[in-house]
Structure 1
């Protein structure tokens, strides 16, 4: 027991050091601007004032040495017309905020950090750091259910170096927070924890990113496994949740109720086709995407019922997500990559247990 607790403490320390070391050099992507704007929007309704404050904050922080040299220039560069237009036109910049308001839990968390005295830039990064830490912690404890703690810690620290995870943990975006609630929901589901805790996590996931409603509906279906007679009720309930997530919540946060019509792939069937085509091109270009896809498909046919169920949940979610939002960006699927790692260890543990059982039976017969 004492040894187990010691390893847990070591794991917490090493995971914390890993996250801090990676986030020592954050990615100052363009998303940092709209999320800072949403922080300022809580106290100021003037878009011109917000626009000036956002860009001047980055410039001032860079001049003070708290933001890496060149970051400001990259955010306003004319080499990317979209960025230059948003820098020159406050109204154009305001139009882009539509897509960012649909992640309320993330930008409200950033706002709270800002109000307690943390700089607006760090306020957008800290939620990602904290989320990354807990994701790795969940992964460690989940793996430790099927293997020894030392091996689980090694696998966790290796998984922490996956490019997609490195991207989400030191970026100003809700992706890490979103994956925290998705991954925690899957962990609670596998460990048979109280349903209300899973549903609470799913609610928080939707408030972090509204498109998490897809995963939430799929997992809820598997939690309750309704009979054929109740399926219609489940469908109606899912539609109602989708309406709340995609229309009501964004509307309450200041968006037009049909804000999602502005997505490029919804302009025409031709645009949708091009987006779908790009998904398959990404699969061809990036070999890692194909590897994860093949592993996920293999898990669908595993002998272990729990593995098949988890693989089915993730597979259905990813498929529906790609149909509704045809964009293959690995940062959206980190939870499912980590889940595949867990399922691989689950399968290995089952094989070892089965082999040990056979050997024991052989000895008994002799």
Structure 2
């Protein structure tokens, strides 16, 4: 069943006419027409799949399977909803099928060498399949404003804390919350997309909101203001926030490259969290952070270089460790930094496996 309405429906007559022409041509087997038809939606669908799956690799697979399914079943699209809504329905159900199969999830996460050196303070909530999302991919998104019922701004809805919170939910709750509170679809529309009832959607949404809100309001979790129109954020406020973040990242980078433990500790909040997917372990608090930084990161003989980047709308850095046997620094990890004002609330360390997606090289040459 298809929806009668949807948020962000394009009412431009010329665009509608062109879309109908592309659909007709695609139905007759014109693959170029199909590519033109869906290319404007591909990036936002990938982000949608990433939110639900928590893994960029899985999101890419889900997107490809969504487009294949759309190509094969285009004849079933009756036009009673927009093409965009129809594609979201396919993508959401493709993600749910992948989660039910669970074949892509590692059963046992291999621990990084550092994890065994210090006793973690708790079992972390970052799942082993979690991957960061390069900001450069967000640059390709078409400006699609969410529906009026959306509760999260786009910047919060891609943040690492939000993605982790989503992974705490059962798959169906996850899909309902993203469709309702991120994209702004009505409950009746979500029910039709998931072949469910409106009452079931509302019940799942209530439970999902409680879990996510509890996670996002926990200590050390930085959040943007909820339900705030973009117009309330003035250019001056945005510029000041960016400037503060840039200074903080510059100080963090400088402390790493100078191996200045005291300077780095000074940037962290008291209840800072350090985590390192795929290990579901967490080091929480300034004392634990100081121990792991002193005994692992800054242990004698180690020196680093840093390459800045961005992930999940947050500052990130590629960290490179000097090779004692060659004049190079080798890729060591990717750090995604969560900030609040002029302090760091969380540092999430990812393995070198994700660095190529950020355009980061495997090695850096020695500098003069």
Which TM-score tier does this pair reach, normalised by the shorter chain? under 0.3
Higher strand share: 2
TM-score by length of structure 1 reads 0.26
TM-score by length of structure 2 reads 0.26
Higher helix share: 1
